[in-house]
């Protein structure tokens, strides 16, 4: 005797179960396709664009294939169509230098803020302010990067009167601080309390035990956070567009416009010359290797810490 006549039989329920479970598998497969494609395209096209010039030269304006770059006259033995094919030579050394300089400067700015704030959040957990500080760091990491770019633009570029690497570094600081603060906090919380108690039992004041016992125990984790922040900063484009503007020449001057890899990717793909589009893929390749490499490295070390 069944209580309800409209109840599904077990066979029907089993079919629904299979169908919907199948749906989740299909969804996963559908989502993985474009993601695999993106990585594959960058690896294949971008990897093909790499050569020695790519890493050792800066931007050079594209020239027609069949033209001598110095005299501007057609080269002997060229074919008719060659005049219309344009070849860009040169590489992205200026972008690599710019990205490294701006991101490392930003890391130097954000490390003290992030690490000390992380120590505060982890070591003084009872402060009523902590929830609010955590929320603020979430807001910063969730804020659209273009808004941070606008802040860098009005706060620094407008005041200094010029785009500059230092403005880019300050803008990136806004985005890197929350990552460092949160990872530092998380990792310090993993340090067993027995360690702190042991240090205190030896008569060490709290600051001494924190700096010489707790932080060194968690140092790998803090370095991890710094690396993750570096990866995030190196990949940001929008704030840099408004602060360092980009530069076609190799420049080490932090107070003048600089180039950066993500900006070059953006500029080269908008370019009408296929040879420059090729450079865009190469730049994307370097950028992706940098970001994914750091992430995998971090993952490997954190897996070791947790064990």
Partner 1 sequence: MAEVKAVPRITASSRWARRTRHGDVFFWLLTLLFALMIIGLVVAVGIVTYNGSAGVRAEYGWSFLWGTDWNPIETELYPVSFGAWPAIRGTLLSSLIALILAAPTGVAIGIFLSELCPLRLRQPLGVMVELLAAIPSVIYGLWGVAVFANWFNDWVANPIANTVGQYVPWLAGPVAVSRGLAITGTILAIMILPTVSAITRDVLQAVPSHQREAMFSLGATRWEVIWGAVVPYARAGIVGGIMLGLGRALGETMAATMLIGNSTRIEQSLFAPATTAAALIASELPNAQIPLHESSLIGLALALFGITLILNLIARYLVWQTSRGPAGEKV
Strands (E), the chain: 63-64, 86-87
Binds partner 1 (CB under 8 A): choice among 43, 50, 104, 151: 151
Binds partner 1 (CB under 8 A): choice among 1, 3, 11, 30: 30
Report the C-alpha gap between 63 and 45 in whole angstroms.
22
Binds partner 1 (CB under 8 A): choice among 61, 112, 125, 216: 112
Binds partner 1 (CB under 8 A): choice among 50, 143, 250, 254: 143
Instruction: Classify strands 63-64 and 86-87 as parallel, antiparallel or unpaired.
Output: antiparallel
Residue nearer to partner 1 on the CB measure, 66 or 164: 164
121 binds partner 1 (CB under 8 A): yes
List binders of partner 1 among 220-239 (CB under 8 A).
231-232, 234-238
Residue nearer to partner 1 on the CB measure, 66 or 176: 176
List binders of partner 1 among 267-306 (CB under 8 A).
269-270, 277, 280-281, 284, 287-288, 291-292, 295-296, 299
List binders of partner 1 among 156-215 (CB under 8 A).
174, 177-178, 181, 205-208, 210
119 binds partner 1 (CB under 8 A): yes
- Please tell me the total number of residues recorded for the chain in this structure: 307
Residue 144 Cβ vs partner 1, minimum distance, rounded to whole Å: 2
Report the C-alpha gap between 238 and 107 in whole angstroms.
18
- The secondary structure element, H or E, covering residue 300 is helix 274-306
Report the C-alpha gap between 200 and 210 in whole angstroms.
10
Spatial CB neighbours of 109, under 8 Å, sequence gap ≥ 6? 169, 170, 173
Binds partner 1 (CB under 8 A): choice among 11, 20, 73, 194: 20
Q: How many CB atoms lie within 10 A of CB 57?
A: 16
- The secondary structure element, H or E, covering residue 209 is helix 206-209
């Amino acid at each position: 005797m069944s209580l309800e006549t409209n109840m599904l039989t077990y066979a029907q329920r089993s079919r629904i179960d299979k169908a919907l479970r199948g749906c989740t598998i299909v969804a996963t497969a559908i989502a993985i396709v474009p993601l695999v494609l993106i990585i594959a395209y960058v690896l294949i096209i971008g990897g093909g664009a790499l050569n020695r010039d790519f890493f050792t030269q800066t931007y050079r304006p594209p020239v027609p294939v069949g033209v001598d770059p110095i005299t501007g006259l057609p080269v002997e033995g060229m074919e008719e169509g060659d005049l219309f094919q344009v070849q860009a030579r040169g590489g992205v050394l200026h972008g690599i230098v710019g990205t490294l300089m701006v991101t490392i400067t930003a890391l130097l700015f954000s490390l003290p803020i992030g690490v000390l704030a992380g120590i505060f959040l982890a070591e003084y957990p009872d402060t009523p302010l902590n929830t609010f500080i955590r929320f603020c760091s979430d807001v910063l990491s969730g804020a659209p990067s273009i808004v941070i770019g606008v802040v860098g633009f009005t706060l620094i570029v407008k005041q200094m009167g010029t785009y500059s690497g230092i403005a880019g570094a300050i803008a990136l600081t806004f985005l890197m601080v929350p990552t460092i603060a949160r990872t530092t906090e998380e990792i310090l919380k993993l340090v067993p309390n027995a360690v702190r108690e042991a240090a205190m039992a030896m008569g060490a004041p709290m600051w001494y035990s924190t700096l010489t016992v707790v932080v060194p125990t968690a140092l790998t984790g803090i370095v991890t956070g710094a690396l993750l922040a570096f990866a995030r900063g190196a990949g940001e484009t929008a704030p840099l567009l408004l602060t360092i503007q980009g530069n076609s020449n190799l420049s080490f001057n932090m107070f003048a416009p600089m180039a950066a890899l993500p900006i070059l990717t953006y500029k080269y793909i908008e370019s009408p010359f296929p040879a420059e589009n090729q450079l865009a893929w190469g730049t994307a390749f370097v950028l992706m290797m940098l970001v994914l490499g750091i992430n995998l490295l971090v993952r490997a070390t954190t897996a070791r810490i947790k064990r």
